[in-house]
Amino acid sequence: MVDSNIDVIVVGGGPVGMATALGLAHHGVSCTVIEPQTQASEGSKAFVMWGRTLEAFEAWGLTDALLARGDPRDTVAPVSTETGRPIFTVDFSGLAEHSAMPGVLFLSQSSTEALLREAVESHPDVTWVHGEVVDVVQEADAVAVEVHGGGEGVPAKTMHARYVVGADGARSVVRSSQGGQLTGKPIRVEVLVVDVALEDGAGLDDEAALPPILLVRKHPGLLAALRFSPGRWRILESRTPIVPVCATAADDLPPATPDRTVEELEVLAHEVFGPRALSVVWQSQTTLYQQRAQHFRLGQRVVLAGDSAHLVSPSGGQGMNQGIQDAENLAWSLAAAVAADKAGDAATVDAMLDGYAGERERVADVVARRARLNSRLEFATPPWLRPMAFAAMRGALSITWFARHLARRLSMRDLRYTVRDSARLQAGSRLGRGSGLWFGARFSLGAVGRSVPNVVQPDGRRLFAAIEARVAVISVACDPPAVSDGVVAVRVERAPRGTRLRKGDVAVIRPDRHIGAALRRPTATRLRDALASAGGVQFPGPLAPPDRN
């Protein structure tokens, strides 16, 4: 028996652990976060938050605070320190039709964590426990978590919960305690990251004098600087001529380059900013081994999210974003699993937790492939080849299709799941198959797993404001079915772009805004089945099929 009333313990109060806790609370599940650090982590680390991540936070009521604290941008345009002109411009404003947050937010990870911590610590459904987890043991119907520390003289204790989320970072104790294996060829990405403060106020508001993204074109290897808050900059330098370095095991990798002195770092900073007064605030030599856990669900009751599940090159700024998007998927999946566990419905528990794992494992592979390519382009392009590479980039960005594709890809909006990733998506697509005309079934099949854009509705509101990150139904150009028990049903006049839905389709939208099931002309029973298999919840109330207007 579960000897405590804790539904979920989240091990690790980094950005992903805190996002998971807020997501669980949004779905009505209280949880306990265990974290040894008393302060948010230092340094800028993940300083890029992409639009897709902001959308996840929007559902949990945090986006406005994040936007107010950071520097939101609709374009990314690195400017050459040699010529003072943009090298190329990626414009996200074309995505505004489909998103309230089309662009990117520059905000240091320490600020993000501080803000999340305020939200988590003041949330009535989240309990914050100071301590370090040293072991996790799965029992028949609970998980035992051994916690050390939490202050001098505080004895070690064992806590129990129905489920445990390992959000305890790269050296995850949760993962290792369950025998979780890392998979994939290790790729070492070695980058010097330095935060500097400009002391003469430069870069505070005069963007003509000092644009927010700078690139030193003639530096051997990459040397760039990005402003993440007024007067605060991150410098990025690739420290080896060609990275990533590939090897078959981490032990085979060549030794890391030794750390640089503050004087050496200041020389580097002056190469970017010229003779301005500045000081080095923080530095980190990132040596990441791009790998992922073989399975994101370990046993019956433990799941991994964030860096404990995957390590990715910082190139392209995807790591934390990917982790927070894990949290978005995990929060509703785990909330459904907790409810099913209490009801003794083991099949739904498996569908939800295996679904989370399968879907996010595949996304981790996609993100890793992209980060590997980004690393090669950013860090390994020799200086003599750069003018040609930049000219090619400018040429490609002048093509509308490519510019839009790149903006969607960078902001992680093109990530989707496929029916091969999880049984819950297979169920959602099977329900569509055979439920109507042959061609209708085919389109429904292609829709499942895709993300729904946040389109503007005829009443001027965005779609996400109507569906509120809960299980919802949208019907395309037909009246929504009469659903009960809190299921939001929304009629859209046109199929949202990129969803493959068509007039007359009815789709079940999951809380993470992916299509869980797509149906043509569903009967009430079929729609009820779709809500259960895609959303993991039972709706005992009446359901009626949509009217076909």
Ligand X SMILES: Cc1cc2nc3c(=O)[nH]c(=O)nc-3n(C[C@H](O)[C@H](O)[C@H](O)COP(=O)(O)OP(=O)(O)OC[C@H]3O[C@@H](n4cnc5c(N)ncnc54)[C@H](O)[C@@H]3O)c2cc1C
- Residues at the site binding ligand X, with contacts judged by CB under 6 A: 11-17, 34-37, 45-48, 109, 132-133, 167-169, 173, 193, 284, 286, 306-307, 314, 317-321, 323
Which one, 318 or 348, has the nearer CB to ligand X?
318
In the chain the first and final C-alpha atoms are separated, in Å, by 52
Residue count of the chain: 549
C-beta closer to ligand X: residue 240 or 284? 284
Beta-carbon count within 10 A of 466 CB: 16
Give the Cα separation of 174 and 138 in Å (integer): 11
Q: 333 near 339, Cβ under 8 Å?
A: no
Q: CB-wise, 307 or 345, nearer to ligand X?
A: 307
Nearer to ligand X, 37 or 484 (CB): 37
Give the shortest CB-286-to-ligand X separation in angstroms: 4
Structure tokens at 460: 């001027």
Residue 326 CA to residue 468 CA, distance in Å, equals 18
Q: How far is the CB of 302 from ligand X (least distance, A)?
A: 14
- In the bound complex, what is the minimum distance in angstroms from residue 327's beta carbon to ligand X? 9
Least separation in angstroms between CB 526 and ligand X: 39
Minimum CB distance to ligand X, residue 258 (Å): 17
CB of 112 vs ligand X, minimal distance in Å: 9
Residue 65 host element (H or E): helix 63-69
**Closer CB to ligand X, 13 or 535, in the complex:** 13
| Token pair belonging to 377 | 């382009």
> DSSP of 27-40, one letter per residue?
TT--EEEEES-SSP
* Least CB distance to ligand X at residue 227 (A): 14
Q: Which is nearer to ligand X, 112 or 533 (CB)?
A: 112
DSSP code of residue 473: E
Report residue 252 CA to chain centroid gap.
31
* CA distance linking residue 92 with residue 85, whole number of Å: 19
What are 292's strand-pairing partners? Answer: 183, 310
Q: How far is the CB of 309 from ligand X (least distance, A)?
A: 8
| Adjacent-strand bridge partners of 126 | 31
Residue 241 CB: number of other CB atoms within 10 A? 10
Instruction: Give whichever of 40 and 467 is closer to ligand X, judged by the CB atom.
Output: 40
* Distant-in-sequence, close-in-space partners of 430: CB < 8 Å, separation ≥ 6: none
Q: Residue 368 and residue 291: Cα distance in Å, rounded? A: 8
Q: Please, what is the minimum distance in Å from the beta carbon of residue 254 to ligand X?
A: 20
Over 111-168, what HEC string results? Answer: HHHHHHHHHHHCCCCEEEEECEEEEEEECCCCEEEEEECCCCCCCCEEEEECEEEECC
Q: Least Å distance between CB 209 and ligand X?
A: 25
- Kindly tell me which of 235 and 532 has the beta carbon lying closer to ligand X: 235
201 Cα distance to chain centroid? 33
Minimum distance of ligand X from residue 133's CB (angstroms): 4
Q: Which is nearer to ligand X, 14 or 535 (CB)?
A: 14
Classified as helix, coil or strand, 183 is strand
Please say which residue, 32 or 318, places its beta carbon nearer to ligand X. 318
Nearest distance from residue 156's CB to ligand X, in Å?
Answer: 12
Q: Cα separation of 246 and 164, whole Å?
A: 34
User: Is-contact 431 419, C-beta < 8 A?
Assistant: no
Please say which residue, 81 or 172, places its beta carbon nearer to ligand X.
172
State which residue, 113 or 345, has the beta carbon closest to ligand X. 113
Q: How far is the CB of 321 from ligand X (least distance, A)?
A: 5
Orientation angle between helical segments 109-121 and 15-26, nearest 10 degrees: 40
State residue 125 phi and psi, 5-degree precision: -95, 5
Show Cβ contacts of residue 165 under 8 Å, excluding neighbours closer than 6 positions: 8, 9, 10, 11, 17, 20, 174, 302, 303, 304, 305, 330, 334
Cβ–Cβ < 8 Å for 236, 193: yes
CB 24 within 8 A of CB 187: no
* DSSP conformation class of 462: B
Q: Please identify, using beta-carbon distances, which residue of 120 and 142 lies nearer to ligand X.
A: 120
Q: Output 284 or 538, the one with its CB closest to ligand X.
A: 284
State in angstroms the smallest separation of the CB of 514 from ligand X.
21
